[in-house]
Chains A and B, each alone.
Chain A
Amino acid sequence: MNIEQPRIKIRGLSKRFEDKVILDEVDLDIMPGKSMTVIGMSGTGKSVLIKCILGLLKPDSGEILVDGEDWLALNQQEQLKRMRRVGMLFQGAALFDSLPVWENVAFALLRHGENKNTARERASEVLAWVGLPSIEDLMPSELSGGMAKRVGLARTICHKPDIVFLDEPTTGLDPIMSDVINRLIVRLHKGSGTTIISITHDMKSAAMISDHIAMLCHGRIHRQITPDQLDSDQDPVLRQFIEGRAEGPVNCSAWGKDIEEAVKR
């Protein structure tokens, strides 16, 4: 495969909900084996972007090419087949309440006709990899937030996908557990060369797990940098976000004005 060809190529992707424009002509390339993190304020469309790539939302216009194939042109059956290449870690882990941990982890394998014993063995192997051995028979309700996230990560990679999506992998976790998750992601990326697309607000996590960082602002990719440039880049919007200031260039938006007024009050 040509290494110069992007694994995921997004062109002119737009999505609006009623009158609100969420994504406005987004262009983004994610190269094979690279880890791209999309950062941006809440409500800027990071999750919508990932959901459009995965076919969970239908964009209004634009192209999503994965290894040159237009995923938006596929029918539902073909889209589902392509999902075998994909793993997705949801923000709340989204474990299936009615299934024990091992069946959650091996879900994709079992659905694709894998033998039950083999699937369980693979689940145990991946659970051990995320540092959770011997919890195969627990139910999701018995897990802590950090454990659920790691089980979610185990489920994401159990069927060996070559593209992994991570939706706020460290949100809601304590700093130590965040570091554990970040290290696992780095291990996954370095160890298997998986292409990773993450979205996060956590700048420490972004710096640790990314090869490239793209900032989404007002529905567009505002800036793309490498983690090394996080401290040195002087773009005012990026700086405001990294430094976590309520005042700055994004205040010109209605959202910013609301915040500014709230701060004044």
Chain B
Amino acid sequence: MKFLQSFGTLFEALLTQLGLYASTLGQVVKLIFTAPRYPRFILNQAEEVGVQSLPVVLLTALFTGMVLALQSYIVFHRFAAESMIAVVVSLSMVRELGPVLVGLMVAGRIGASFAAELGTMRVSEQIDALWTLSTNPMRYLIMPRVIAATLMLPLLVVVSDFIGIYGGYAISVFMLDQNPAVYLEKSTEFMELKDFYSGLVKAAFFGMLIGVIGCTEGFNCKGGAAGVGKATTRAVVISCMSILIFDYFLTAWMFG
């Protein structure tokens, strides 16, 4: 009986949280179609999400491409199929690793930042103050962040794809003595346009998830400094889990 009760409570909490995310997303979508849209704030947030995340994303992509090339070599070498390293690296980066790793990195950096910033504003009554100054907090704080995250993730993924493929190229050519021309040719030989844009669609979706989850957690934060800490942790954990779960469903939808 106790187990059922706990399960029920957990299920109720989960549904409440999903409802909050859906409500935030619904309101943001509704607000996009009416003025004011605060383009300056969207640009500021885009700089924060995109430009500021570049070092983390570049480093992650570079080493992922490098390790992928190294691991693939160990297997392909057994079958004398080393030329296939380029195919594995490029397709893995573009279809899967680029969007997922960028999503996870940005979730850690930006999801936490959104939740902490909005959470602090909530507990110090700054969000209430916005309302009393006849400013819709959802429009002023959340809409620009969600738009910026949704738009900037695909751009980061494009950069990450190129850097990841270059990482694989560097290891294959400079360390494993592969032919550079063959590597470049194989990198694109099996790649279709769909592989590329499916990664971008995933990235945009992950950006939207990070924005909505981070902002919702911060916006609805309660309980002072401890509450802000909890909201920040939840934002990162839930964003990362959501990225991995939705990655499966998006892949199944686009390639299934």
Identify A51's interface contact among B128, B129, B134, CB under 8 A.
B128
A83 near B134 with CB under 8 A, answer: yes
**Closest Cβ–Cβ distance, residue B31 to chain A (whole Å):** 11
Q: Cβ of B135: which chain A residues have Cβ within 8 Å of it?
A: 80, 107-108, 111
Interface string of A189-202 (1 = CB under 8 A from B): 00000000000000
Q: Cβ of B134: which chain A residues have Cβ within 8 Å of it?
A: 80-81, 83-84, 108, 111-112
Q: Which residue of B lies closest to A88 (CB)?
A: B132
Q: A115 at the A/B interface (Cβ < 8 Å)?
A: no
Q: B251 at the A/B interface (Cβ < 8 Å)?
A: no
Docked CA distance A87–B120 (Å)? 22
Does more than half of chain A's interface fall in helix, strand or loop, or is it mixed? Answer: mixed
Q: Cβ of B9: which chain A residues have Cβ within 8 Å of it?
A: none
A54 near B133 with CB under 8 A, answer: no
Q: B190 at the A/B interface (Cβ < 8 Å)?
A: no
A56 near B128 with CB under 8 A, answer: yes
A88 near B136 with CB under 8 A, answer: no
Q: Which residue of A lies closest to B132 (CB)?
A: A88
Identify A108's interface contact among B121, B128, B133, B136, CB under 8 A.
B133
Residues of B106-135 whose CB lies within 8 A of A: 120-121, 124-126, 128-129, 131-135
Q: Cβ of B136: which chain A residues have Cβ within 8 Å of it?
A: 76, 80
A90 near B131 with CB under 8 A, answer: no
**Closest Cβ–Cβ distance, residue A99 to chain B (whole Å):** 10
Chain B interface residue count, Cβ-Cβ cutoff 8 angstroms = 13
Q: Cβ of B121: which chain A residues have Cβ within 8 Å of it?
A: 96
Q: Cβ of A108: which chain B residues have Cβ within 8 Å of it?
A: 133-135
Identify B131's interface contact among A83, A92, A112, CB under 8 A.
A83
Docked CA distance A56–B134 (Å)? 12
Most chain A CB within 10 A, of B120, B125, B129, B136, is at: B129
Chain A interface residue count, Cβ-Cβ cutoff 8 angstroms = 26
Q: Cβ of B128: which chain A residues have Cβ within 8 Å of it?
A: 51, 54, 56, 88, 90, 94
B125 near A92 with CB under 8 A, answer: yes
Q: Cβ of A95: which chain B residues have Cβ within 8 Å of it?
A: 126
Most chain B CB within 10 A, of A76, A94, A165, is at: A94
Docked CA distance A58–B154 (Å)? 40
Q: Which residue of B lies closest to A107 (CB)?
A: B133
Identify B126's interface contact among A80, A83, A94, CB under 8 A.
A94
Residues of A98-117 whose CB lies within 8 A of B: 107-108, 111-112
Q: Which residue of A lies closest to B123 (CB)?
A: A92
Q: A180 at the A/B interface (Cβ < 8 Å)?
A: no
A55 near B125 with CB under 8 A, answer: no
A96 near B132 with CB under 8 A, answer: no
**Closest Cβ–Cβ distance, residue A51 to chain B (whole Å):** 7
**Closest Cβ–Cβ distance, residue B16 to chain A (whole Å):** 14
Identify B133's interface contact among A51, A56, A81, A111, CB under 8 A.
A111
Residues of A47-80 whose CB lies within 8 A of B: 51, 54-56, 76, 80
**Closest Cβ–Cβ distance, residue B183 to chain A (whole Å):** 47
Q: Cβ of A171: which chain B residues have Cβ within 8 Å of it?
A: none
**Contacts A92-B124, A94-B124 known; A87 to B132 CB distance under 8 Å?**
yes
Q: Which residue of B lies closest to A112 (CB)?
A: B134
A55 near B133 with CB under 8 A, answer: no
Q: A226 at the A/B interface (Cβ < 8 Å)?
A: no
Q: Which residue of A lies closest to B131 (CB)?
A: A56
Q: A86 at the A/B interface (Cβ < 8 Å)?
A: yes
Q: Which residue of B lies closest to A111 (CB)?
A: B135
Q: A91 at the A/B interface (Cβ < 8 Å)?
A: yes
Docked CA distance A163–B166 (Å)? 63
Q: Cβ of B129: which chain A residues have Cβ within 8 Å of it?
A: 88, 90, 94, 96
**Which residues from chain A sit less than 8 Å from chain B, CB to CB?**
51, 54-56, 76, 80-81, 83-84, 86-88, 90-92, 94-97, 107-108, 111-112, 155, 159, 165
Can you list 26 A-B pairs, Cβ within 8 angstroms, ordered by A? A54-B132, A56-B128, A56-B132, A80-B134, A83-B133, A84-B134, A87-B132, A90-B128, A90-B129, A91-B125, A94-B126, A94-B129, A95-B126, A96-B129, A97-B120, A97-B126, A107-B135, A108-B133, A108-B134, A108-B135, A111-B133, A111-B134, A111-B135, A112-B134, A155-B133, A165-B132
Q: What 7 A-B pairs have minimum CB-CB distances, sorted nearest first?
A: A83-B134, A88-B132, A94-B129, A94-B125, A108-B133, A90-B125, A84-B134
